[in-house]
Amino acid sequence: MGTLSKEFAERCGLKETTKVFAGGADNACGAIGAGILSEGSTLCSIGTSGVVLSYEERGDKDFQGKVHYFYHGKENAYYTMGVTLAAGYSLSWFKDAFAKKESFDDFLKGIDRVPPGSDGLLFAPYIVGERTPHADAAIRGSFIGIDSSHTREHFIRAVIEGITFSLNESIEIFRKSGKRVDTVVSIGGGAKNETWLQIQADIFNAKIIKLSSEQGPGMGAAMLAAYGCGWFESLEECAKEFLQTKKVYEPVEENVKIYQELYEIYKNIYSQTKVLSHQLKNFRK
């Protein structure tokens, strides 16, 4: 875009020759910072909200309004994106409500000992409404199947599984449109826990890649600047230098089968609780 004005440079303590480049929105930069730069590459980013993002070479595909369609940070490229409004926020809410003084590491201890499916406990992460695939501001979350045998660890794992089921609804939309989703790069808070990464692999039925850096958006912005400075001939070349795989999580066939059955049950929660949620709307603060 150019260089700094004299006034701005003086106020910020920078040189006037400092180059300025156009950046991108958080997810556009996150896509670059995760190496989502070609067809078939998919990103799962779990922060306060969660997104599943897929690279598109063309901007004219028809997803019937089920997912978002945006310009990519890479020139002449696009990405489609599904959103879970309360992804990491659902887990933070549960922790703040029932284990406020614990660290996240202590809070998550023991969830690996709970079997896939949390012994029949499901969670729908609609605690602030939802976007994909249900654009509904009035829907609210729920635990389904609470049993006297369930422990705190069951509830925590169920929350994580519910968030991941919700994100899988976006992946299902992509697959039904003909997209191949067999490898997913995971970044954000959801990439910090080993058990959650394996849950993603099992529910998505895809290989999950954890990068050495989880700072996708910040990394992507840095890569745009490096490319803009002419240090690399392409963003793809830049990605080869900047991005390294730390660990790969493969889906476990036995777990995949369990989650596929539970996912079909999970998808009924929205329609089965929608009327109740809307009736309770007037009683919320």
> Residue 25: its pLDDT value, please?
82
Respond yes or no: is residue 26 known to be catalytic.
Answer: yes
Q: How confident is the model at residue 109 (pLDDT cuts 50, 70, 90)?
A: very high
> Residue 80: its pLDDT value, please?
93
Tell me the pLDDT of the chain averaged across its residues: 94
> Residue 54: its pLDDT value, please?
93
Query: What mean pLDDT do residues 198-210 have?
Result: 98
> What is the CATH T-level fold of the domain 31-211+248-283, as seen in this structure?
Nucleotidyltransferase; domain 5 (3.30.420)
Strands 142-144 and 50-56: unpaired
Above 90 in pLDDT, residue 21? no
Q: How confident is the model at residue 115 (pLDDT cuts 50, 70, 90)?
A: very high
Q: How confident is the model at residue 216 (pLDDT cuts 50, 70, 90)?
A: confident
Q: Which of 26, 112, 119, 136 is catalytic?
A: 26
User: pLDDT (tens digit, 9 = 90+) per residue, 147-191?
Assistant: 999 999 999 999 999 999 999 999 999 999 889 999 999 999 999
Query: What mean pLDDT do residues 246-271 have?
Result: 98
User: pLDDT (tens digit, 9 = 90+) per residue, 184-202?
Assistant: 999 999 999 999 999 999 9
Does residue 133 have a cis peptide bond before it, meaning omega lies within 30 degrees of 0? yes
Neighbours of 51 (CB within 10 A): 26
